[in-house]
Structures are given as C-alpha cells and as structure tokens.
Amino acid sequence: MGENSLIEDAKSGNKEALERLIEKYAPLAFNLSLKLMRNYDDASDAAQEALIKVYSSIKKFKGKSLFSTWVYRITYNTCIDLQRKRKNNIIYEPDETIKDPKPLPYDEALSNEKKENIKKAINALPDKYRAAVVLRDIMGSSYDEVAEILRCPVGTVKSRISRGRDMLKEMLSEYMEQITPN
Amino acid sequence: MKNNCEYIKSLLSEYIDDMLPSDKTQEVHLHISQCASCAEQHRLLCAVVEELKVLPTEPLPPDFLSKLSARTDTLKGRRFSLPPLKGFSAVAAGLLLLLLIRTGYNYYSLSQIKTAYIDDAPIETQNNEPLLPDKPTEQVKEQKNIEENQDKSLSLGQNGIAVENSSNEKQKSKPEERTGALQEQPKDDKIEENSSQESPPDESDETEVTSEMAETRMFSLPVENDAGEDAQNSPRAARANAPAAGGSFYTAVHDNDQPSFVSVKIMVDDFEGAAAALAKKYGVKEQNGEVLLELNNDDFQQVMNLMLEYGARVEQSEENELLTANKCIIISKNRD
C-alpha cells in the first residue's frame, strides 16, 4: 500500500493504517528530536509526544505539504516546547561554545570517533542554526520544506543554513582537511 | 579581491545547493576557479555537507514503540469519555456564572466561603502539589491588604448587578495602568508583583469582583484537545460571545491561599494582529513565530481577554513542574 493511501485510510479512521504510519515515521521523528534536543532521554520523550500528536490529530493533515514535513513540524514544535519546560530554553540564545568556536583536537579528529566529532559540532551550534542545518542536511528537507517546518521565510532559512554550515566548517576545519585531502 | 571573496563565501552555501540564480552561479563558479582561498572554502563546505548527509540514523530506543503503543491505547480509551465531560463542565460553569450574575449574588458572601467551583476542571489536569514555593512575607502582606479592602468589598458585593454595568470602562483603563508596571520590572520580578497594589479595590464586573475576594486566583481556561477541529473552525464572534464555551475568562478563589498558575498555548487566527497588540501593550516581541509571556494573574487575564479578539483557542499544558507565573505562548492557529 502506498503512503498516500495509507494516509487517507488513517484519516478515515483506520487505526491499523495510522499505526503503520506512526511506526514508519517514528525513527525520523526520533532522529530529528535527537539532533534538536542534545539529550537522548529528552529526545525520546519529545519524539513520543510528537507522535502522539500526529496520532491524535491525523485528521488535521490536509495534504498541503508532504506528510514528512508535517511530522517534522510537529516534532520541531514539540522539541521547542519541551526545551522550554526543561528550563533550558536555548532556542534563541547562542551557546557559550559557539562564541569561541575552536577546531576539535587533531588526534581526536583522526580517530574512529568521526561520528562523535560531527555530533559534538552539531550540538555546539545555536539552536536556530542547528535546526535549519539538521533539517536540510541530515533529514534531507528542501529549503521550502525547512521554511514551512520552522515557519520562517525561505530567505531566513538560507541564511541560517549558510551560517550554520560555516560554523560547522570552522569547528571541524582541521578534521575536514585531513579527511578530504586535496 | 578580498571584499569580493567575502561576498563569494556568503554565496557558497546556496551555490552547493544549486539555489542561486544562474548569473550568480556563474559568478561564483568563475571566482572559485580563479581564487584558491575561496576554492578551498568551497571544498571544505562540500565536505562538511557530505559528512552530514551520511551520518547514520540512530535506532529507536528498545522500548520506544511499546511505550508509544501503550500511550495510543490509552488515548483510544480516553477519546470516548473526556470530551463530553469537558463540555459538560464548561456548560455547568457558564450556567453557574449566569445564575450568580442574574441573581445579583453577594460576592462578599462568596469570599467568606472562599471557594468557587466555577473553574476547577482545567486545573485538575495539573498535579495537586502546591504550585508556588512558600512566601510567608508576601502572604502576610496580602492578607493585610485583604483586610484593609474588606469594607470596600462589602459595599461592592452588596450591589452585584451594578458591578456589571461599569465593567467595560474599567477593563479599558486597566491594561494601560498595568503596562507601565510590567515594563519597568525585570522579567524575573514579574512573578513577585503584588497584585493587590495594582488592583483598584473598586473594580467591577464578574472578573474584577472576584479580585476583591482574595489575592489568590485561578483562571478558568477553555481547554481543547489537539483534535478539536470544530472549535477551531467556529466563528470568532461565536467564541467571544459564548462564556459557556470558553468565550470569556474568569477568576476564582480556592481554599488554599497559594497562588496557582497555568501554562497555556494560545493559538490565534490573526497572529500578526495579536503580536502587534501585545507588543504595543506589553512591549514584548514576536520571536520565530511566537510570543512568550510570563504574567501575574491580573495581566494574564488581560492578555486572555485581549487574545479572544484575535480568535484565541487555548490549550493548557500539562506541566509537572512548579510554575512561578502564568506562562503564555501565543502562536498562529495554523502553526501546528
């Protein structure tokens, strides 16, 4: 069964179709939450909340955007809410670490912890840049989709992605020079 | 060349995503073919983006789906029982309030009882722990204010219907008075505001009459679930004119003398208008499509009533933490 028919079935009250949809999008919601929340348990909580919202308001999905965009938007908003509840409202505040971005240590960069280094760099980004970069480069959303998820103009999305990537480039510069020789 | 390099670097991100118009794409292409520094920046940026794209997907926590399934099962069961109950409590609250107003009920007597059952339903969704840390000094001061105002309360309470007549004028003058106080104080101090100093004792209407009863108040909020499409689509005017359906906001007094606060998400039809009104009255700015406010009860009620004019639909958050002020997040109805 195609995704569109699955969505239509779910909207018309077919619980099995809805549960299959939820199951399909659970890893995406969790991975987005993980990149946005910085904390594994919080990410799990946020993804659960987001998917419950998807479950309970499936009829609100009008099909004007991709279903994945709708799920990402709910997940993103849920993450913002949860961060606020955790008294850790860092959505609009730059991280301390980003004020003086330093390249990660050379040895560490060369180790098999490549993935961890990149994660650390992503986590060091201020939230608004991180959200844009994660949605674009990790979740694979288009600029228009990112704009819809973040509810901001495409021009803002472009500048956030550009700025976020530049910060990552600065933080990972030594490492990137090693893994991408001329 | 350096200025040009800065300009080119600012375009690199869009360049690698093929988001530039053709003339700029040509310009960047030509430049990086001639400038080693910019070519290096381009290469590094591409490398970063490639690394992000191939980051492995994290598997779900082992119990994630089973927990989710348990929660959706609970949701299925709840769906058939909660909405009628909520609807019933809203109707009951409206009828009770109407009865009180029509009969000119002596509000002072109500204050003696110190219990009003108008608005318990939404608050019951919160935990039952005290919502504020103890503030003995504040309480003593507040109690003193109550005693000082008692005579005025008595005369006011004896004329319940007359009270209703002057409500509009009073409500119009109130926000301006409050705005100054709100803006002068730092954010953290908002919760410390002693509302008794700001609330003139002779204020009227059903909301303000209850402000005479005591300094500690709760608000009745029309709580709707996420799937409440019908309420969302109902005309704004119908909401504003239907107290039983949550068209107005009430205050009440409860047995414990602890101030209680709520955390609400207010979804409005006209977000820009609402944000502009809040900016004008409270000096708060919209950020990333939302306005965040932390308010004492007086200001909270003003904001709630103001937001009704912009087609507000309110969801109460189920926060487990102690709230030290009423938290409002105003967003566009279309955001979620």
Same domain? B253 vs B303: yes
Same domain? B290 vs B162: yes
B262 CB-near residues (< 8 Å, 6+ apart): B122, B123, B126, B218, B219, B221, B316, B317, B323, B326, B327
- Rounded distance between C-alpha atoms, residue B209 and residue A93, angstroms: 41
Per-residue pLDDT at B321:
54
Residue B80 has pLDDT above 80, yes or no: no
Residue burial B157-168, b: 16+ Cβ < 10 Å; e: rest: beebeebbeebe
Q: Which residues of B touch A177 (CB under 8 A)?
A: 44
pLDDT averaged over every residue in chain B: 61
Per-residue pLDDT at B72:
83
Percent pLDDT > 70 in chain A is: 80
Per-residue pLDDT at A178:
63
CA distance A5 to chain B (A): 21
Complex ipTM value: 0.82
Residue burial B296-325, b: 16+ Cβ < 10 Å; e: rest: bbbbbbbbbbbbbebbbbbbbbebeeebbb
Per-residue pLDDT at A168:
93
Same domain? B40 vs B102: no
Exposure on the CB side of residue B213, measured as CA atoms within 13 A: 26
In a domain, B149, yes or no: yes
Retrieve residue B196's tokens.
């008794």
Query: Which residue in this structure is represented by tokens 């108040």?
Result: B217
**Could you give the angle at the alpha carbon of B322 between the alpha carbons of B320 and B328, nearest 5°?**
85
Total count of domains within chain B: 2
Residue B171 has pLDDT above 50, yes or no: no
CA distance B274 to chain A (A): 17
Query: Strand B263-268 to strand B326-332: parallel, antiparallel, or no bridges (unpaired)?
Result: parallel
Give the domain range for residue B117: 84-332
CA distance A45 to chain B (A): 9
CB atoms A59 and B55 under 8 Å:
no
Q: What is the mean pLDDT of residues B30-51?
A: 93
- B9, B44, B68 member nearest A26 (Cβ): B68
Nearest CA in chain B to A134: B52
Least confident of A64-68, A92-96, B27-31: A92-96
pLDDT digits 0-9 by tens, B211-246: 333 333 333 333 333 333 333 333 333 333 333 333
CB B247 within 8 A of CB B240: yes
Per-residue pLDDT at B95:
81
Same domain? B28 vs B126: no
CB atoms B60 and A30 under 8 Å:
yes
CA distance B149 to chain A (A): 37
Per-residue pLDDT at B88:
64
Same domain? B279 vs B192: yes
CB atoms B44 and A173 under 8 Å:
yes
Residue B279 has pLDDT above 50, yes or no: yes
Per-residue pLDDT at B270:
85
Nearest CA in chain B to A56: B227
One-letter amino acid at B79 equals R
In a domain, B79, yes or no: no
CB atoms B49 and A150 under 8 Å:
no
Per-residue pLDDT at B264:
84
Same domain? B13 vs B155: no
Per-residue pLDDT at A102:
56
Same domain? B44 vs B102: no
Greater pLDDT, B264 or B103: B264
Greater pLDDT, B178 or A100: A100
In a domain, B167, yes or no: yes
Domain architecture of chain A: domains with CATH? 3-85 (1.10.1740.10), 96-179 (1.10.10.10)
B103 phi/psi in degrees, rounded to 5: -85, 0
Greater pLDDT, B220 or B324: B324
Q: Which residues of A touch B71 (CB under 8 A)?
A: 48, 52
In terms of average pLDDT, the best of A62-71, B125-134, B258-267 is: A62-71
Residue A41 has pLDDT above 80, yes or no: yes
CA distance A111 to chain B (A): 15
Q: Which residues of A touch B45 (CB under 8 A)?
A: 165-166, 169
- Rounded distance between C-alpha atoms, residue B113 and residue B119, angstroms: 16
- B48, B57, B329 member nearest A168 (Cβ): B48
Q: What is the mean pLDDT of residues A77-81?
A: 91
CB atoms B335 and A77 under 8 Å:
yes
Greater pLDDT, B200 or B31: B31
pLDDT averaged over every residue in chain A: 83
Q: What is the mean pLDDT of residues B146-170?
A: 40
Nearest CA in chain B to A122: B52
CB atoms A166 and B45 under 8 Å:
yes
- Rounded distance between C-alpha atoms, residue B306 and residue B311, angstroms: 10
Per-residue pLDDT at B318:
63
